[in-house]
């Protein structure tokens, strides 16, 4: 009898709980940031924002459980995946709320989710157009983009605040980074795998005498809080809003496809088209549940992809525990308040390591794409450059139509679309053959490079089994 793959292996209960909690602590701040920002932009009061956070955590937990354990042949990739609210839908939701009201936000999200479920299987059939050249590029853009998020957590985002870029906060984050690196690189066995969690806990302890851990608000929330369906009233379905949220779902599909292929690469577990389609169904279901319970569209959190790579703990039952914890946090708001006291510089320090790990995974994936081929190298360089443009040039597309900003303001989307289109043109049409035939190797170029430049990229298909 063949031995089970590490992805399908159960760990001892204590380790599963510890690793599952580690995943939750890594993604918690990013997950609740979306409802916090949306609530503030929509002018909601603190109590209503609290309801959004609870609904957000509940739906994220349900979708994480579905993705990790699967629901028969209907949904779930059965991979070590942690899901949470995506930033892709944030700007469109704010614009829809201001134009049509909150009923339209969640009505359009509900329809977008239904569209996503319907398109999951057709989308999965084009996975061959997402080779390492595309997925590696997207993951590199994602990782580099998220480093700015980690920096914002460490120094703050309001330059006028007294605590902005405080040396003490930067020092705390540096200590957390050093502890994480020390345990991950020098620790043995479980100590290496729990390095991120240990760094988080030590960082919290150090932050207490610094006055960065405030428990003043803990205990104010109710013990039990079940999200009410259609809290803002009967859903509405303006055509423009529905189209916008359907576009959001397509972008989420592109991100999730890259993330699932990356998880497959990291864990060594081949992913079939059926697995991919069921994973995308999970994304669509998040839109349906989000529309009903006034939550948000979920995507695979790449910081947790980084955690899987860094800890080398591949069991999907670990992330299932994470999903169960998120469900509990969603139903018991008071417990969620306790988790929320983790200082942002501590989360930022850990995030810096994990986000950069995502970029390294992307670079390692690109190594399979035959970058000695100048066409492939140019595709990767162009897509990464375009993908990082809105990250480093804020407000670049502010004068474009609102509908266009949905796509253009997302560096991940731009990078993914650029890599996808260029790869399609130069690796799946006669134009690619013409381009390579026109390349003349430089004098003195090594024989290996000269040979590689004359043939089509052999890595033009991702690791997908039928």
What pTM does this model have? 0.69
pLDDT of residue 406: 58
The Cα–Cα gap between 296 and 59 comes to 8
The Cα–Cα gap between 117 and 111 comes to 10
Task: Assess contact for 316 and 78: CB atoms under 8 A.
Answer: yes
Residue 124 predicted with pLDDT over 80: yes
pLDDT of residue 256: 86
Residues 6+ apart with CB under 8 A from 54: 225, 227, 330, 331, 333, 336
Helix extents (H) in 367-397: 374-392
Mean pLDDT comparison of 423-427, 435-439, 456-460, highest-scoring range: 423-427
Q: What would the pLDDT profile of 164-180 be if each residue is shown by its tens digit? A: 989 999 999 999 999 98
Residue 67 predicted with pLDDT over 90: yes
Task: Assess contact for 93 and 257: CB atoms under 8 A.
Answer: no
Residue with tokens 């605590």: 163
DSSP state for residue 129 in the 8-state scheme: G
Q: What would the pLDDT profile of 73-95 be if each residue is shown by its tens digit? A: 899 999 999 999 887 777 678 87
The Cα–Cα gap between 14 and 336 comes to 21
Residue with tokens 């130069």: 426
Residue 184 predicted with pLDDT over 90: no
Residue 456 predicted with pLDDT over 60: no
Q: Which residues pair with 465 in a beta bridge?
A: 272
Q: What is the mean pLDDT of the chain?
A: 83
Task: Assess contact for 21 and 197: CB atoms under 8 A.
Answer: yes
The Cα–Cα gap between 218 and 333 comes to 10
């Amino acid at each position: 009898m063949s031995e089970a793959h590490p992805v399908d292996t159960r760990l001892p209960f204590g380790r599963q709980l510890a690793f599952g909690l580690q995943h939750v602590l890594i993604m918690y701040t990013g997950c609740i940031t979306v409802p916090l920002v949306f609530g503030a932009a929509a002018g909601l009061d603190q109590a209503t924002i609290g309801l959004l956070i609870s609904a957000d955590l509940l739906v994220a937990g349900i979708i994480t459980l579905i993705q990790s354990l699967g629901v028969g042949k209907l949904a779930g990739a059965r991979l070590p995946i942690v899901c949470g609210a995506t930033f892709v839908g944030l700007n469109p939701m704010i614009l829809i709320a201001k134009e049509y009201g909150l009923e339209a936000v969640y009505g359009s999200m509900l329809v977008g989710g239904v569209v996503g479920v319907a398109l999951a299987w057709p989308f999965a059939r084009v996975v061959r157009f997402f080779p390492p050249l595309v997925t590696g590029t997207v993951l590199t853009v994602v990782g580099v983009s998220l480093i700015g998020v980690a920096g914002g957590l460490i120094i703050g985002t309001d330059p006028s605040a007294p605590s902005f870029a405080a040396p003490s906060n930067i020092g705390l984050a540096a200590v957390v980074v050093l502890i994480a690196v020390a345990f991950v690189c020098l620790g043995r066995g479980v100590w290496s795998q729990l390095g991120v969690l240990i760094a988080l806990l030590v960082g919290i302890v150090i932050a207490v005498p610094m006055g960065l851990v405030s428990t003043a608000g803990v205990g104010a929330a109710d013990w039990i809080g079940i999200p009410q369906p259609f809290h803002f009233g009967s859903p509405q379905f303006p055509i423009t809003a529905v189209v916008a949220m359907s576009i959001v779902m397509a972008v989420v599909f592109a991100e999730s496809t890259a993330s699932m292929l990356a998880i497959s690469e990291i864990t060594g577990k081949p992913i079939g088209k059926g697995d991919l389609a069921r994973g995308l169904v999970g994304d669509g279901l998040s839109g349906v549940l989000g529309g009903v319970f006034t939550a948000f569209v979920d995507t695979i959190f790449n910081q947790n992809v980084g955690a899987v790579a860094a800890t080398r703990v591949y069991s999907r039952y670990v992330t299932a525990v994470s999903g169960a914890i998120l469900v509990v946090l969603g139903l018991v708001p008071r417990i969620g308040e306790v988790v929320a006291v983790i200082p942002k510089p501590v989360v930022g320090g850990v995030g810096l390591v994990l986000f950069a790990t995502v970029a390294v995974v992307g670079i390692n994936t690109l190594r399979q794409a035959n970058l000695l081929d100048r066409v492939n190298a140019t595709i990767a360089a162009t897509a990464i450059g375009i993908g990082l443009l809105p990250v480093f040039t804020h407000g670049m597309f502010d004068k474009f139509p609102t509908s266009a900003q949905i796509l253009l303001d997302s560096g991940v989307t731009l990078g993914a679309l650029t890599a996808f289109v260029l790869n399609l043109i130069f690796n799946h049409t006669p134009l690619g053959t013409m381009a390579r035939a026109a390349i003349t190797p430089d004098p003195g170029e090594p024989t290996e490079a000269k040979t590689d430049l004359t043939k089509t990229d052999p890595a033009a298909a991702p690791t997908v089994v039928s």
